[in-house]
Amino acid sequence: MADHVIHGNYVDFYDEKGPHKGILAWILTTDHKRIGLMYLIALTTFFCIGATIGVLMRLEMLTQGRTIMGPQTYNSLFTLHGLIMIFLFVIPGIPAVFGNFFLPIMLGAKDVAFPRLNLLSWWLYITGGVFAVLSLFLAGGPIDTGWTFYVPYSLRTGTDVSWMILAAFILGFSSILTGLNFITTIHRLRAPGMGWFRMPLFAWSLYATAWIQLIATPIVGITLALVAIERLFGVGLFDPALGGDPILYQHMFWIYSHPAVYIMILPAMGVVSEIIPTFAHRTIFGYKAVAISSLAIAFVGYFVWGHHMFSSGMSDTSRWIFSLFTFLVAIPSAVKVFNWTATLYKGSIDLQAPLLFVLAFIFVFSIGGLTGLVLGALATDIHLTDTYFVVAHFHFVVFGGTGFIFFAALHYWFPKMFGKLYNDNVAKVAVSLITLGFLMLYFTFFILGYEGMPRRYYDYLPQYHGLHVFATVGSWVMISGFIVMFINLFKAFKSGKRAGMNPWGGMTLEWTVPSPPPLENFEEIPVITHGPYDYHAQEEAKEKQEEFNHSAEDEK
């Protein structure tokens, strides 16, 4: 379909003239699509910085002893790498970029419920990011506590923890406002006829995520604030020297940070549930089960935080209860994976780059999930905790999960966002390189961890040398994949072929508006008459149309 057929007079949101000009037309915009793109630029920038730091860490591990940096630098780098990747990339990640851009369109709305609040969220995100970067240059040097800010070390270190905490606090605020905005949007702005069970699964996943953002973030906010207050005034709430309890800090921290894992992964699962029906040309198997399992994951996710503390001193009873609950999360997660596989089964599969990312995701994420059970079991966790096994596990889940799907979503929606097509073959090469490098890098970590290599060490014993070299080479393969991917997308952005309205044959509402969409998305708010992935109804309609055409021809 060529877009000139549909709208002679349409102006896309890039060309729309607002009250402001130049850069101001962007940084003061309240258009959800522009805000989504501004998040995209910021997030990919932070991803590239974080990835560079990761590669530098790997380079340090190439040989035994000091290779390119000393231990203090290494401590700062793994802290920064973790902080950037977690707080600036994967937590805001998919909701901030693709949620902002697509949620209103998928619901048939003109914008989110609170457009100005949305802009404020972006500004808070940028402020938080700038503060995080600024803290590197303050007295004391880059923070070295690890991204978890564990007390009592975070109370004692000379590096400037308070600034970084302020940054995290502001980022948390931004996250809360986004969640609040999305919940209200979903409750209030669905198009006429779109009942809850006619909502796209991506919207469902954002709904579940938004509740976690809202309920969990304030608790870590106050916990981190207390660490800062403690450093500034010496109140002593977590300081064991003054009667405070460091274990209590860990509880408070993980009460948020475990659910935060679902803030990262649920939206990714939502994207997967969009991509699979589109490329299998088939209604998703078990729509309701997939929708509800998001809420179930969000709910159970609140009761498992203790699995991060099996080895830090808890009663045996709490240990096995947390272990049990951890196992329960596997059930709704498996529901999703089985439903995806069942949808693909007997679908007419169109193996394009976004789907390739998704297949890589299912493979990698399943390994991540299963090794999660290994860590959720008490006996094995005691052996594996604080080793590279844990590092491997969370990269499989967080990077292989959210990271991969972030880029899958970028490829899936690229034609809609920019109105351009990228080179699909190059994209496939990029996916393959990334996945191959990923497995070389992180699967090796499982073995290293199993053999006893501790995490957060800048040096190692001779027996680990071979595996470290292999992993480091893997990091180079992976990075070259990312470079290929970014160049491909950038070229498409500059000079790609024009994309039509619906290059993949998707069924949700965003594929019914022009690419790129006009300022308020819809000329007329659509009326919804069936579920979001009704390929069946579509087929029938097509057949009827053909029959009609035939009989019309016969009559001639």
Partner 1 sequence: MGAKIGMWLFLLTELLLFGGMFLIYGAYRYMNNEDFHAAGQGMNTIIGAFNTVILLTSSLTVAMSITALQKGNKRLSITLLGFTIFFAVWFLINKYFEWSHEIRNGIYPKSPELLNRSQGEILFFGLYYVMTGIHGIHVIIGIVILSFMVSFIARDKVTPADYSKLENSGLYWHLVDIIWIFLFPLFYLLR
Task: Report the DSSP beta bridge partners of residue 420.
Answer: 498
> What is the nearest approach in angstroms of partner 1 to the Cβ of residue 317?
16
Q: Which is nearer to partner 1, 114 or 493 (CB)?
A: 114
Q: Are 275 and 412 in contact (CB under 8 A)?
A: yes
Reference 61, options 340, 345, 454; nearest CA is: 454
Q: Residues 240-259: x/- map of binding to partner 1 (CB under 8 A)?
A: --xxxx--x---x-------
Among 4, 7, 156, 456, binds ligand HEM (CB under 6 A): 456
Place of tokens 């179930």: 296
Q: Which is nearer to partner 1, 185 or 343 (CB)?
A: 185
Q: Are 532 and 378 in contact (CB under 8 A)?
A: no
Place of tokens 């939502």: 270
Six-digit token pair at 523? 């000329």
Q: What residue 184 binds from partner 1, Cu ion, ligand HEM, none (CB within 5 to 8 A, per partner kind)?
A: partner 1
| Integer-rounded Cα radius of gyration of the chain | 24
> What is the nearest approach in angstroms of Cu ion to the Cβ of residue 210?
20
Q: Are 159 and 143 in contact (CB under 8 A)?
A: yes
Distance CA 46, CA 97 (A): 13
Q: Which is nearer to partner 1, 234 or 466 (CB)?
A: 234
Q: What residue 258 binds from partner 1, ligand HEM, Cu ion, none (CB within 5 to 8 A, per partner kind)?
A: Cu ion
Among 229, 292, 321, 537, binds partner 1 (CB under 8 A): 229
Q: Residues 461-500: x/- map of binding to ligand HEM (CB under 6 A)?
A: --------------x-------------------------
Residues 6 or more apart whose Cβ sits within 8 Å of residue 192: 525, 527, 528
Is residue 434 within the footprint of ligand HEM (CB under 6 A)? Answer: no
| Distances in whole angstroms, Cα of residue 534 to Cα of each of 22, 287, 389, 401 | 42, 11, 42, 27
Q: Which is nearer to ligand HEM, 14 or 457 (CB)?
A: 457
> What is the nearest approach in angstroms of partner 1 to the Cβ of residue 220?
8
Is residue 215 within the footprint of partner 1 (CB under 8 A)? Answer: yes
> What is the nearest approach in angstroms of partner 1 to the Cβ of residue 49?
30
- Interaxial angle between packed helices 424-438 and 465-495, expressed in degrees from 0 to 180 and rounded to the nearest 10: 160
Backbone angles phi, psi at 314, to 5 degrees: -130, 165
Closest residue to ligand HEM, based on beta-carbon distance: 54
Residues 6 or more apart whose Cβ sits within 8 Å of residue 95: 178, 179, 182, 206, 209, 210, 213, 263, 267
Is residue 192 within the footprint of partner 1 (CB under 8 A)? Answer: no
Is residue 393 within the footprint of Cu ion (CB under 5 A)? Answer: no
Q: Which stretch binds ligand HEM (CB under 6 A): 49-57, 114-122, 222-230, 286-294?
A: 49-57
> What is the nearest approach in angstroms of ligand HEM to the Cβ of residue 537?
39
The one-character DSSP state at 496 is P
Amino acid identity for residue 28 in this structure? L
> Would you list the DSSP string of 153-189?
HHHH-SS-HHHHHHHHHHHHHHHHHHHHHHHHHHHH-
Q: Which stretch binds partner 1 (CB under 8 A): 55-63, 176-184, 347-355, 389-397?
A: 176-184
Is residue 430 within the footprint of ligand HEM (CB under 6 A)? Answer: no
Half-sphere exposure of 111 (CA within 13 A, CB side): 17
> Would you list the DSSP string of 308-359?
G-TTS---HHHHHHHHHHHHHHHHHHHHHHHHHHHHHTTS-----HHHHHHH
Q: What residue 222 binds from partner 1, ligand HEM, Cu ion, none (CB within 5 to 8 A, per partner kind)?
A: partner 1
Among 80, 226, 263, 453, binds partner 1 (CB under 8 A): 226
Task: Report the DSSP beta bridge partners of residue 454.
Answer: 387
Among 6, 25, 27, 55, binds ligand HEM (CB under 6 A): 55
Is residue 44 within the footprint of partner 1 (CB under 8 A)? Answer: no
Q: Which stretch binds ligand HEM (CB under 6 A): 160-168, 276-284, 309-317, 391-399?
A: 391-399
Is residue 420 within the footprint of Cu ion (CB under 5 A)? Answer: no
Q: Which is nearer to ligand HEM, 358 or 519 (CB)?
A: 358
Sites of contact with partner 1 (CB under 8 A) = 113-114, 117, 176, 180-181, 183-184, 187-189, 214-215, 217-219, 221-223, 226, 229, 233-237, 242-245, 248, 252
Sites of contact with ligand HEM (CB under 6 A) = 51, 54-55, 57-58, 78-79, 81-82, 85-86, 89-90, 146-147, 391, 395, 398-399, 403, 455-456, 475
